[in-house]
Amino acid sequence: DAKTTQPPSMDCAEGRAANLPCNHSTISGNEYVYWYRQIHSQGPQYIIHGLKNNETNEMASLIITEDRKSSTLILPHATLRDTAVYYCIVRVSRSNFGNEKLTFGTGTRLTIIP
């Protein structure tokens, strides 16, 4: 699976949009981008995933560049409860076998400032 690079930490003011970047310059054509977050002492929470089109759900939006070498997770109106470590993961989807392991790096520690 392709390696990802994320900034180690970011701050964002409460109520503003939080934009978390991820670089995955070695991504291949059949690899998806997944985002998870982990609040201290809890299990990771799935946020969103995509292949090449931009995606939006009730939690966030995922913007993937046209060359797919980077992406941005957007939390549109950040709250204090969004303070967490955010992980960007690139993984092959194996349609004939299903899921295998997720490789979590060290992620971005996002702190929402009141």
Partner 1 sequence: DGGITQSPKYLFRKEGQNVTLSCEQNLNHDAMYWYRQDPGQGLRLIYYSQIVNDFQKGDIAEGYSVSREKKESFPLTVTSAQKNPTAFYLCASSINTGVQPQHFGDGTRLSIL
Q: Given the rule CB under 8 A, which residues bind partner 1?
A: 32, 34, 41-46, 49, 51, 87, 93-95, 97-107
As measured in angstroms, the least distance from the Cβ of 16 to partner 1 is 27
- Backbone angles phi and psi of 92, in degrees to 5: -70, 140
For partner 1, the closer of residues 63 and 104 by Cβ is 104
Q: Are 82 and 14 in contact (CB under 8 A)?
A: no
As measured in angstroms, the least distance from the Cβ of 39 to partner 1 is 10
For partner 1, the closer of residues 21 and 44 by Cβ is 44
Interior angle at CA 83, CA 42 and CA 105, nearest 5 = 65
For partner 1, the closer of residues 77 and 100 by Cβ is 100
Look up residue 68 and give its two tokens. Answer: 């797919």
Q: Are 108 and 9 in contact (CB under 8 A)?
A: yes
As measured in angstroms, the least distance from the Cβ of 104 to partner 1 is 3
